[in-house]
Structure 1
């Protein structure tokens, strides 16, 4: 009831200001002020003000908003932790069962290196590099032979 009275007073004051503005021959501004002044009384007559006051002044409504905010916060926290861990538990179990490590881009292909037998071997017609000291490259040759290159 008090809010309805306040809205009616605000509308009356706004219409008074609109009349003074129209008296000064600023009709466009006066029309705009009158339009704004009629909004509070229109809200009271449609019942929107009663709905808003019930919404604002009821503790159960604020408790509902608090629970919704808590739910949203928990959801965002769980998504952030899931992203940080690298997927859901189900996805990690599938990857472990498949015997493959989780990939950042699972659809990306591995580099195509081929087997050592497929590697191109030097042709016999090419000149061999000069061999000065065989001892300098013996360690490297041993490593290459060990890996089958």
Structure 2
């Protein structure tokens, strides 16, 4: 009974505010406010407010909501476990089947002994002073690997 009275009062106040807005020639705003104000009145007329009030104060209804929440949590938990198992199975199967993308990527750069010989009539170049060969050998190996 109290909930119906409150909803009716909210609807009447909203329609009053809509009338004031229409008087100020804000017709679009007035129509929107009137639409919002009529929602509680419609809920009272359909009996939804009485049902909601009865449900809000019923311990059986709250227990039902608790059971529904528990079922929802169970669905989420089983879904998460199922996804985790599928992804773990794919990772194990994928690792066994796939070759590494760049097998020599983790290998150290080519040292002087591992470098392929240049063209057959050329002399090997002398190493510059100061150990510059060591500094740029990694970069040279990467550039050669990419054909640059």
Name the CA shift for 1:14/1:104 in 2 (closer, same or farther; >3 Å).
same
TM-score (norm 1): 0.51
Name the CA shift for 1:110/1:39 in 2 (closer, same or farther; >3 Å).
closer
Larger radius of gyration: 1
Residue 5 of structure 1 corresponds to 5
Uncovered stretches (5+) of structure 2, i.e. residues with no partner: 100-148
Deviation (angstroms), 1:110:
10
Counterparts of residues 86-105 of structure 1 (less than 5 Å) = 104-105=92-93
Taking only aligned residues, the RMSD between alpha carbons, in angstroms, comes to 2.9
- Runs of 4+ in structure 1 over 6 Å off: 108-111
2:22 partner SS: helix
Residue 55 of structure 2 corresponds to 55
Residue 27 of structure 1 corresponds to 27
CA deviation string 1:16-46 (max 9, x = no partner): 1111111111111111111111111111001
Name the CA shift for 1:22/1:66 in 2 (closer, same or farther; >3 Å).
same
Rounded to whole Å, the distance in 2 between the matches of 1:109 and 1:82 is: 23
Rounded to whole Å, the distance in 1 between the matches of 2:5 and 2:12 is: 11
**How many residues align structurally?**
94
